[in-house]
Amino acid sequence: MRRIKILNKEFVRFLKNRDEAFTDYLTNLPDRRGMYDYYSRLKRNTIVSVLFIDIDNFKQVNDVYGHSVGDELLKTLAEYFKKMLPGSRIFRIGGDEFVAIDEGKKQEAKVISIATELLNGLQTIDFREDVRSQLTLSVGILVNQGVKANLDEILKKCDDAMYRAKQNGKNSCVIFDSLEEEMKKTNEIEEEMEAAYSHNEFVPYLLPKIDLLSGRVYGAELLVRWVHWLDGVRMPGTFVPIFEKNGTVSRLDYYMFEEACKMKEAWRGTPLEKLTLSVNLSPVTFYIKNLAENLTAIADRYKVAYSELEIEVPGKTYTSASERSFEAVKELKKAGFRISLDNFGGLYSPLTSIKELPVDTVKFEKNFIRATTADQSGNKILRNLFALCRDLKVDILAIGVETDEQIETLIKCGCYSAQGYRFIEPSTEEEFIKYALSNCMREIAPVRITFNTPEH
């Protein structure tokens, strides 16, 4: 009996030492080794759901406030996770990464609801407000996984889902099943790409640019549509991001540019021959060596004047561009192409971009136009920005115009060009030609302009 007591005491001491060895020194949660130890001791018929939690912007907290504040934040969050996930085993497996494992079969909707509550409740933690206000989480989720699966494989799936949550703008959760379905769709699109080029499934739709004072079409923007033999029309948001990731988007950019040149050639000798056609280029394309030479060669093949072609520079190009990208834009301008800065007023739109890039036109973003045409204070912002553009001898184009009231406000504020569904949706070349040849003035209600309206 005495020997059994001694052995029991030794076993308890062993468990205590093991737990201490597998405990994170800062948060007192089990660490990565503790997680593997816990998982290895689960019964083989156990079902688990796993949350992979990453603290967004944690490096910024350390850099700005110091590592002591970062450490206190980790300890506070560890307690928060334990409170919000009472039925789960919580592990700190890296600097700002935590894993929660919950045993037993769960409804997927319930797990997502728990993860959402975790995100929404973050601002309730007892921590200094200036740090807390910057906090968000990205969470990757795997639901109802049998523990016969290798833990590393489970973590890899959760990690992939977590990174997709970050790509979606952070402060969100992504479940791996939906990500897996998305990856399957991505593979299908990549496999179908070559056939789409061969069968001319990438079709340019045109969105007219309207002179608000005369009502006439003076140009158009080419927007790509994938007319799939089975799915019908695929919008660019379903395939362009995939092409950007796999490095083939520049091929699509060149293709659309050539389609614009083909249109210009076909319209020669018609009332449409002087219309300016604009083509969007991905930020990736501006890194290509000899971009200007490549585009001029295409234009020369169809004998199209460079001044009748416009290159649209996305705002992202400005914020993330290398020196090579800036040089590419300058070379395009020097070659004779028109340059427009797309989606100004959105997330990527520093005022200095108007000054530093050789821009002919600034396109004001749809949501910005909607917000600033809605009230007097917004109108003041518009008037001043439009005046700045005029001083810099830059043309102005409003995107996404939807109502007659917006048209009236834009004209009063000094913008006389627009695009939007108020006029016509993006359409095929045939439909665009019919629209452009008609008198657009019949479709635009007369605008009564009062330039001396008192401000409120």
What CATH number is associated with residue 237?
3.20.20.450
Q: Give the whole-number percent of the chain exceeding pLDDT 70.
A: 88
pLDDT-based confidence at residue 367 (cuts at 50, 70, 90): confident
Question: What average pLDDT score do residues 226-238 get?
Answer: 92
98, amino acid identity: F
pLDDT of residue 67: 92
Sheet holding 47-56, edge to edge: 89-92, 97-103, 47-56, 136-146, 172-175
pLDDT of residue 73: 96
Domain carrying residue 107: 17-181
**What's 138's domain CATH number?**
3.30.70.270
Residue 138 in domain: yes
Most confident of 37-46, 300-309, 323-332, 441-450: 300-309
Q: Which residue has the higher pLDDT, 427 or 184?
A: 427
Residue 141 in domain: yes
pLDDT-based confidence at residue 448 (cuts at 50, 70, 90): very low
165 and 60, same structural domain? yes
Residues 6+ apart with CB under 8 A from 440: 208, 210, 215, 216, 217, 423
Residue 262 in domain: yes
Question: What average pLDDT score do residues 354-378 get?
Answer: 84
pLDDT of residue 377: 86
349 and 289, same structural domain? yes
161 and 291, same structural domain? no
314 and 243, same structural domain? yes
139 and 112, same structural domain? yes
Domain count, the chain: 2
Residue 119 in domain: yes
Of 181, 214, 237, the position where a domain reaches its end is 181
Residue 335 in domain: yes
pLDDT of residue 322: 57
**Nearest to residue 252, comparing CAs of 227, 231, 228, 224?**
224
251 and 215, same structural domain? yes
Of 148, 181, 214, the position where a domain reaches its end is 181
252 and 303, same structural domain? yes
Of 120, 153, 181, the position where a domain reaches its end is 181
pLDDT-based confidence at residue 350 (cuts at 50, 70, 90): low
The overall pTM is greater than 0.75 = no
Residue 455 in domain: no
Helix (H, G, I), strand (E, B) or coil at 138: strand
For residue 65, what are the β-bridge partners? none
Residue 266 in domain: yes
Instruction: For residue range 3-43, list pLDDT tens digits in order.
Output: 555 555 554 554 455 555 689 989 999 999 999 999 999 99
For residue 204, what are the β-bridge partners? 224
Q: Give the whole-number percent of the chain exceeding pLDDT 90.
A: 61
Residue 1 in domain: no
204 and 176, same structural domain? no
